[in-house]
Amino acid sequence: MTGLLTVVGLGPGDPRYLTPAASEALASATDLVGYGPYVDRVPERPGQRRYASDNRVELDRACFALDLAAKGARVAVVSGGDPGVFAMAAAVFEAVDKGDPAWRSLDIRVEPGITAMLAAAARVGAPLGGDFCAMSLSDNLKPWEVVEARLRAALGADFVVALYNPISSARPWQLGAAFKIVAETREPDTPIILARAVMRQDERIRIVLLSEVEASMADMSTIVIIGASTTRLIERSGGETPYVYTPRFYGVRP
């Protein structure tokens, strides 16, 4: 097969944070496939075909893109942030694993991007400076019991925890339930970072103590970062937003 499929990470939104390799993949693609708002973020190019679809058809989108590549197209499947973090790269390889055996002969590449938790962390300091984990709070593809068990395990191990897909109109209660679980093991003064639309024009970042945080402060465009027991705030003069960091060491300082 002569086709090529590249899963491209668009980063957090600001085009300055799109990697040169990702830009090259987008420029050389004959066909662009992705969730509508992500496709809209890519400048139009003469002759390039664009296929936008809904957010909940990842596997169908992946199969469509693979079929285009199998017919000889150079396909770019676009994904926000990093395509390997709760995004389209896994959907593409799931389709390859379960789909047409001929797809296994395709040249499939993944161009990474800056994922939301890294963009959010950079805005406030270094909250991911120690051990951390990332998990999706959505129960669309796994039972809530699994989500809860994993969250409890991460909190019990004293990781900083980054929560993707924290809340939506279809899942209005889960973030509040998660905060209640957090309150069982973390102190009331634990920093919680709520970063919405990071590095886009409507960006909003808040640093709130666990005792004051509310689920209504977040939406589906928000990444939530829960501090560990070692995470610290550095207060600043003049009412400036404090810095947040998690030390590299744990326990006794070396």
Instruction: Write the class of the CATH domain 117-245.
Output: alpha beta
Beta strands 191-196 and 222-226 are antiparallel
189-210 per-position pLDDT tens digit: 999 999 999 998 899 999 999 9
Instruction: Report the distance separating Cα 71 and Cα 48, nearest Å.
Output: 16
pLDDT averaged over every residue in the chain? 94
Phi, psi of 35 (to 5 degrees): -60, 135
pLDDT band at 13 (very low <50, low <70, confident <90, very high): confident
Burial of 8 (0-12, 13-18, 19+ CB in 10 A): buried
pLDDT given at position 210: 98
Confidence at 140, pLDDT banded by 50, 70, 90: confident
pLDDT at 2: 76
CATH homologous superfamily of 4-114: Tetrapyrrole methylase, N-terminal domain (3.40.1010.10)
CA-to-CA distance for 247 and 112, rounded, in angstroms? Answer: 27
Residues forming beta bridges with residue 158, ordered by sequence position: none
> Residue ranges per domain, the chain?
4-114, 117-245
d(CA 201, CA 239): 23
